[in-house]
Chain A
Amino acid sequence: MTVAHLLETDHISKYYGNVVALNDISTYVDSGEVTCILGDNGAGKSSFIKILSGVHRQDDGRLLVDGEPVEFASPRDARAKGIATVYQDLAMVPLMSIWRNFFLGAEPRKGYGPFQWFDAAKAKEVVRRELSEMGIDIRDPDQTVGTLSGGERQSVAIARAVYFGARVLILDEPTSALGVKQAGVVLKYILQARERGVAVIFITHNPHHAYPVGDRFVILNRGQSLGTYEKSQIDREELVRLMAGGRELAELEHELEAIKLEV
């Protein structure tokens, strides 16, 4: 019998009517690892995240946490199991300060009975400590999130998920909207989270972002898995080639040549 993984998908499939969104996907992630889910638009990445985070249920196959099959009825169930998802829209409010955002929906409180207030001093202190432990240099927790760069926002969102006890962190395209430098900052925090023992599932369409931080790579194409590779089994060029769908890229090049000739 194999060892129980922290989070494992066992031959998972998802259909929307007669459309196969995901077909027979098996992979896993363990504490202190990064599993990258790579795929182009429409590859089934979103469906995959939604199943992992409890938004949708799979139609076939099993989802296992610590080796136990689980049924998530809602994102709340997934969170209760320590699975936190950082969405592209970040679930942060731009006009609110960092510390207000950090504790939004889970505000620490002080006081008695109906006379309870939001413990702002504690919130600010925790934010400062958590962010500096992640190596995020925030000048002032009172800054609004809107004044942060995209990379900083992602980093704060990651720090928040880690602070609230995430064992598995699912990151939905955290680098896709960022410039090269900012993406680098986010990748650094992904490694920080991994060092702290968090299992990370990193969804991206960019093999150049995935390769430096990933321990395992799952390549999706039109809902099918093109294979799961450990880092030792694959090099960057091969990953890029698989990701681009080798043959398709060759065809595309050919077509582009044709267009150039016409012009």
Chain B
Amino acid sequence: MAETAAPKAPPDERVVSVGPLARLLTRPDIGALVGAIAVFFAFGYFARAVNWLGDPAIAAGWTDQAAQYGIVAVPVALLMIGGEFDLSAGVMIGSSGLLLGYLTTFQNLNIWPAMVLVLLFGLTIGFINGLTVIRTKLPSFIVTLATFFILQGVNAAGTLKLTGQTAIQNIDSASGFNTAHKIFAGDLTHYAFKVKVLWWIGLTLIGAWLLAKSRFGNWIYASGGDPNAARNVGVPVARTKILLFMMTSATAALMGIIEALELRSMQAGEGIGLEFIFIICAVVGGCLLTGGFGSVIGTFFGAAMLGMVQLGIVDAQWDSNWTFTFQGGILFAAVLLNTWIRSRAQRAR
């Protein structure tokens, strides 16, 4: 700040020094970090009987759960910052896993080309979501709710018609399964930590880099913050949003692949309900429902928090039905905190 230190005494613009704490409080991800640490130590107390704080196996458990939430929450957060929702992100996990099962067990495809096709399917659904939202100018909430229900029906009816059951089994009979399992769904050598956790961390870093350091990231902020202004200065808002929808659906497809490989079978109802968990992660991470503001790193902590709650309630030997209540409470607290932080970021001087 040396170059601005010269006092020029502007007649009507005053200079206020902003302390480091106040500056920190305009960041969207701090709340999520503080919350995750608080939840971690809370269960450290309530679940002390199972050595919550010290046992690596416990940590492996909740990080596995957190990764399941956090992987898809990364693009969901970017999409929310871009001003849109995707309620079909949960059901897409089921659709993609089922498609992988169908391609490998019914079409006898090798697992690798099957995975490529599943990812292409994800990109296609995302493209359809995005294009529909852009063309019709309908709220993405409604458009992706429709996709959600359409896919839910297809998943259930299709699985029943193919198998006569509610699941596709024996995905591990596919050729190439073992290598794919190792890369996407295996255990890391120590403490039974899942490879999935590395995917979660990796995708978070990529997402955070995209948002903070790339031109595309600037466009995401602008498309969500003020699409008209963005268009006026030449930002391709439609393209940005469609790409975000495609990233979201493709990442959900990746999650479907991971689950299918991990479970070796896929239930028709898999993934349903997770769409809201992803949104909670993003909101806890500081993403505003109105777009234009948020953090991928914060979303990471949000997913960690929800993963800990999910497993912590079991480890503390509470009735696991309380999980929903906790999730709701966390969401509520996060929304209040975000509103406050946003007003500081926008108006505080």
Contact = CB atoms under 8 A, between A and B. Distances in A.
Contacts of B190: none
Q: Please list the 8 inter-chain residue pairs (A to B) with the smallest Cβ-Cβ separation, ordered nearest first.
A: A146-B346, A105-B234, A93-B225, A105-B233, A91-B232, A107-B215, A95-B292, A93-B226
B222 A147 contact: no
Interface in A155-191: 181-182, 184-185
Nearest to A94: B346
8 contacts: A76-B234, A91-B230, A94-B225, A96-B225, A96-B292, A104-B235, A137-B4, A147-B346
Interface stretch (A11-19, A115-123, A202-210, A252-260): A115-123
Given A93-B230, A146-B345, A118 B225 contact: no
Interface in B219-257: 221-222, 225-226, 228-230, 232-235
Given A104-B222, A107-B218, A147 B347 contact: yes
Interface residues of B, number: 36
Nearest to B16: A139
Given A137-B8, A137-B10, A181-B12, A91 B229 contact: yes
Interface in B5-43: 8, 10, 12-13, 15-16, 18, 26
A257 to B, nearest CB: 38
A185 B4 CA distance: 19
B3 interface: yes
Contacts of A87: 232
Contacts of A185: 12-13
Interface string B335-349: 000000010011111
A195 to B, nearest CB: 18
A175 to B, nearest CB: 15
Contacts of B69: none
A109 to B, nearest CB: 6
Contacts of B165: none
A82 to B, nearest CB: 15
Interface of A: 76, 87, 89-96, 100, 103-107, 109, 116-118, 120, 128, 137, 139-140, 144, 146-147, 149, 152, 181-182, 184-185
B347 A146 contact: yes
B217 interface: yes
Interface in B304-349: 342, 345-349
Q: Which of A95, A139, A147 has the most CB of B within 10 A?
A: A95
A83 B213 CA distance: 30
Contacts of B346: 94-95, 144, 146-147
A93 B226 CA distance: 6
A92 to B, nearest CB: 6
A100 B12 contact: no
B348 A147 contact: yes
A95 B213 CA distance: 17
Given A87-B232, A95-B345, A146-B346, A103 B218 contact: yes
Nearest to A139: B15
B226 A94 contact: yes
A10 B280 CA distance: 59
A149 B347 CA distance: 9
A143 to B, nearest CB: 8
Nearest to B213: A117
Contacts of B15: 137, 139
A81 B233 CA distance: 16
B233 A91 contact: yes
B233 A100 contact: no
Contacts of B225: 93-96
B230 A104 contact: yes
Contacts of B213: 117-118, 120
A109 B345 CA distance: 26
A91 B227 CA distance: 9
Contacts of A90: 229
A216 to B, nearest CB: 27
B296 to A, nearest CB: 15
Given A137-B8, A144-B346, A92 B292 contact: no
Contacts of B221: 93, 95-96, 100
B163 interface: no
A152 B12 CA distance: 11
Contacts of A120: 213
Nearest to A184: B12
Contacts of A116: 214-215
A104 B228 CA distance: 13
B293 interface: yes
A95 to B, nearest CB: 4
A144 B230 CA distance: 15
A185 B213 CA distance: 33
Contacts of A152: 13
Contact of A104 (B1, B233, B347): B233
Given A93-B222, A144-B345, 19 more contacts: A87-B232, A91-B229, A92-B229, A95-B292, A96-B218, A103-B218, A104-B222, A104-B230, A105-B222, A109-B215, A118-B215, A128-B3, A128-B4, A137-B4, A139-B4, A139-B15, A139-B18, A147-B349, A152-B13
A185 B26 CA distance: 28
Nearest to B215: A107
A118 B218 contact: yes
Contacts of A140: 1, 18
Contacts of A139: 4, 15-16, 18
A118 B214 CA distance: 5
